[in-house]
């Protein structure tokens, strides 16, 4: 064989030898990476912590969650450093559950950081998905909110102290999270893959969602389509409510404390109680109407509803018997807090989002 042929043969052998050596050297690391558990992050922004409690409330399944995921961030139950998240590769976290709304510059920063580091991001609970009750603060300016918190009769603050976003301490400048003019939902700040509604989400629904995710990651189940609402139905609370409806017309709205007794079998709305079931997504099991309490709408808008409040106003109008404007006004006077009734959980995520007051600086610098 000629030297050229030998050289050619050696050249052909080399490409096979190098990958074999590399494969042998990288074997343990590659195997470890292949067997690594998916990473899970759970972060609470502007929230009450109820969503975290709902996760813990899945009882013994919390052990299954720990077995299925490597939990890399969950400030409620474990110490974690933002620097550890920043050091991760983009997309290294498999799934992040974000509860709470976007009210400070810190929560916005962390939402964007976690979005970059996560394959999938979930708006977990009502605050993240629609603003929830804190979103009603969008009816007031930042100054009005802070004045109420620091100057009204429930606060002992004789020196009139107000929060500042920067403070010169002996050790240096301290930067505190700045309270933004308007509360935003998670999807108004970052791209969201899935939503789990509820205030808080029902624990049984949380486990069902996490179990489905594990199956999808293991290739034993389908991955939900992007934008899907998980852990809930596609209809309304009325459709899973056991109370009877006979399209009865009403001539007044009343508050639950104003009436001694209600019919335990008839629709609460048809008895004059402002019940939000007609506009609210099912999935909770209609627990409130089952015990005689009106639905307050914590599972958010039903499938296909563009604006929760508008849908609810339409539903209420359908049962009002009055025809003349003054008669209609008299009936509607029974709804003492229209904004709270129609947009209790959804104002920040609605078509309205806020009132003009939220953008009024009130002389703030």
72-85 mean pLDDT? 92
* pLDDT in the model for residue 48: 93
Instruction: Report the helix count and the strand count for the chain, using DSSP H and E.
Output: 13, 9
- Regarding whether 242 and 203 lie in a shared domain, the answer is no
State whether the Cα torsion 315-321-324-329 is positive or negative.
Answer: negative
**Domain annotation covers residue 356:** no
* pLDDT in the model for residue 35: 64
Count CB-CB contacts under 10 A for residue 172: 8
pLDDT tens readout for residues 177-192: 999 999 999 999 999 9
* Cβ atoms of residues 294 and 339 within 8 Å: no
* Cβ atoms of residues 289 and 237 within 8 Å: yes
**Domain annotation covers residue 172:** no
Closest by CA position to 187, among listed 139, 131, 136: 131
Q: Supply the CATH number for residue 129's domain.
A: 3.40.50.700
- Regarding whether 98 and 245 lie in a shared domain, the answer is no
Residue with tokens 């034993």: 220
12-37 mean pLDDT? 52
pLDDT tens readout for residues 117-160: 999 999 999 999 999 999 999 999 999 999 999 999 889 999 99
Q: How confident is the model at residue 17 (pLDDT cuts 50, 70, 90)?
A: very low
307-323 mean pLDDT? 92
- Regarding whether 286 and 194 lie in a shared domain, the answer is no
**Domain annotation covers residue 15:** no
Examine the pLDDT at 26 and tell me if it is beyond 60: no
Could you list the residue range(s) of the whole structural domain that residue 52 is in?
34-135+179-217
Mean pLDDT over the full length of the chain: 88
Q: Which of residues 276 and 28 earns the better pLDDT score?
A: 276
pTM score of the predicted model: 0.86
- Neighbour-count burial for 115-124, b at 16+ CB within 10 Å, e otherwise: bbbbebbbbb
- The span from the CA of 102 to the CA of 202, in Å, is 22
- The span from the CA of 255 to the CA of 252, in Å, is 10
**Domain annotation covers residue 246:** yes
pLDDT tens readout for residues 235-288: 999 999 999 988 778 889 999 888 888 899 999 999 999 999 999 999 999 999
Strands 166-169 vs 172-175: parallel, antiparallel or unpaired = antiparallel
Q: Which residues 6+ apart lie within 8 Å of 81 measured at CB?
A: none
96-101 mean pLDDT? 97
Examine the pLDDT at 365 and tell me if it is beyond 80: no
Query: In this structure, what DSSP letter does residue 102 have?
Result: E
Examine the pLDDT at 174 and tell me if it is beyond 50: yes
Helix (H, G, I), strand (E, B) or coil at 151: helix
């Amino acid at each position: 064989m000629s030297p050229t042929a030998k050289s050619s043969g050696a050249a052909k052998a080399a490409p096979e030898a190098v990958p074999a050596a590399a494969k042998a050297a990288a074997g343990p690391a590659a195997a470890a990476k292949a067997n690594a558990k998916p990473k899970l992050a759970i972060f609470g922004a502007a929230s009450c912590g109820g969503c975290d409690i709902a996760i813990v409330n899945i009882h013994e399944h919390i052990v299954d969650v720990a077995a299925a995921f490597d939990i890399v961030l969950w400030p409620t139950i474990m110490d974690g450093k933002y620097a550890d998240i920043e050091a991760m590769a983009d997309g290294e976290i498999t799934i992040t559950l974000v509860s709470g709304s976007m009210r400070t510059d810190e929560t916005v920063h962390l939402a964007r950081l976690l979005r970059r580091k996560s394959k999938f991001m979930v708006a977990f609970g009502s605050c993240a998905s629609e603003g929830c009750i804190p979103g009603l603060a969008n009816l007031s300016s930042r100054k009005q909110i802070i004045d109420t918190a620091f100057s009204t009769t429930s606060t002992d603050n004789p020196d009139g102290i107000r929060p500042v976003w920067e403070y010169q301490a002996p050790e240096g400048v301290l930067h505190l999270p700045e309270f933004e003019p308007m509360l935003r939902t998670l999807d108004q700040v970052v791209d969201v893959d899935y939503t789990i509604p509820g205030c808080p989400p029902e624990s049984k629904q949380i486990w069902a969602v996490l179990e489905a995710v594990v199956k999808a990651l293991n290739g034993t189940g389908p991955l939900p389509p992007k934008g899907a609402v998980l852990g809930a139905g596609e209809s309304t609370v009325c459709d899973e409510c056991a109370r009877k409806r006979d399209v009865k017309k009403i001539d007044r709205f009343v508050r639950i404390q104003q009436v001694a007794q209600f019919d335990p079998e008839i629709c609460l709305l048809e008895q004059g109680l402002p019940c939000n079931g007609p506009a609210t997504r099912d999935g909770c099991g209609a627990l409130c109407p089952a015990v005689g309490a009106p639905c307050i709408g914590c599972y958010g808008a039903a499938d296909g509803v563009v604006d929760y409040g508008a849908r609810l106003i339409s539903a209420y109008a359908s049962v009002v018997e009055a025809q003349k404007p003054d008669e209609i006004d008299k009936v509607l006077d029974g709804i003492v807090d229209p904004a709270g009734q129609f947009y209790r959980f959804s104002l920040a995520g609605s078509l309205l989002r806020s009132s003009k007051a939220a953008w009024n600086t009130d002389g703030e610098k």
